[in-house]
Structure formats: structure tokens, C-alpha cells
């Protein structure tokens, strides 16, 4: 019909589901890394905290190179016209909307904590 967006096929729906699951798994890895950093510091495992930080810094670089958007967002956009905050990831809309602000703040705090731990060691 005129004025309606084209219907997506099953292949696009499957591709979008795969991208969303991959994106969610990667998000879970980085979110859990950010949460684990202060735990590893508290346990005195500063080398582990440094490794976790390096992984997260790698993600920060990827985001910076992509104008603060995950490359998987652009990939997911190929398979849907939906642009809700969580169209590309299996997260509640509010968390997807505030994800970078929330986890960015937590990560910054962990880096201050790690720096302090390394300086006072």
C-alpha cells in the first residue's frame, strides 16, 4: 500500500535477532567488566583490574572512532526501520537510553579507584 514501509522478511528478522543477541552478549561482557574492576581491586588483584580496564578502554576507542555509536547499531539498522533506544540490543529501553552515561560514569569512577590503588600500593 502507498505510504506504508516495506514489510521485512524472515531473513531480515533473523539477522536482526542475531545482531541483537551478539550486541547484548558484547554489552554484558563490558558491563560485567566495569562492575568487576572494583571487586578485583578490593581483592588486591590489580593485574586483573588492569586487564579488565584495557578491554573496556578498547571498547571506548571503538565508540570514539564511530561517533559514540556501536558499529553493531549500524548493522542492526540495515534490518529494521525501528529506531527505539533498544532496537539493536536486548535491554530495557530506559537502560539502552542511558547506557553510556551510566556505565561511562561507573567506568570513570573505577579508573580513579584503580589509579589510587596503583599509587598507594
| C-alpha cell belonging to residue 76 | 542492526
Residue 106 clears pLDDT 70, i.e. is over it: yes
Q: Specify if 2 maps to a domain.
A: no
Q: Specify if 51 maps to a domain.
A: yes
Q: Specify if 3 maps to a domain.
A: no
Q: For residue 107, what pLDDT is reported?
A: 98
Residue linked to cell 561511562: 104
Average pLDDT, the chain: 94
Q: Specify if 56 maps to a domain.
A: yes
Tally of structural domains, the chain: 1
pTM: 0.88
Q: Specify if 4 maps to a domain.
A: no
Domain that holds residue 44: 10-119
Q: For residue 1, what pLDDT is reported?
A: 47
Residue 117 clears pLDDT 90, i.e. is over it: yes
Q: For residue 7, what pLDDT is reported?
A: 56
Residue linked to cell 579507584: 113
Q: Specify if 5 maps to a domain.
A: no
Q: Are 53 and 37 in contact (CB under 8 A)?
A: yes
pLDDT band at 34 (very low <50, low <70, confident <90, very high): very high
DSSP 6: P
Q: Specify if 80 maps to a domain.
A: yes
- Nearest 5°: the CA angle 116, 119, 121 is 100
What's the rounded mean pLDDT across residues 70-81? 96
Q: Specify if 1 maps to a domain.
A: no
Amino acid at each position: 500500500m502507498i505510504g506504508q514501509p516495506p514489510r521485512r522478511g524472515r531473513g531480515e528478522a533473523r539477522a536482526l535477532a542475531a545482531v541483537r543477541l551478539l550486541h547484548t552478549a558484547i554489552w554484558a561482557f563490558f558491563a560485567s567488566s566495569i562492575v568487576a574492576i572494583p571487586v578485583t581491586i578490593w581483592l588486591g588483584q590489580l593485574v586483573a583490574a588492569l586487564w579488565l580496564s584495557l578491554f573496556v578502554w578498547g571498547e571506548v576507542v571503538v565508540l570514539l572512532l564511530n561517533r559514540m555509536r556501536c558499529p553493531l547499531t549500524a548493522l542492526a539498522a540495515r534490518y529494521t526501520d525501528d529506531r527505539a533506544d533498544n532496537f539493536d540490543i536486548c535491554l530495557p529501553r530506559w537502560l539502552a537510553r542511558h547506557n553510556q552515561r551510566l556505565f561511562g560514569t561507573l567506568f570513570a569512577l573505577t579508573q580513579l579507584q584503580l589509579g589510587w590503588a596503583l599509587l598507594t600500593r
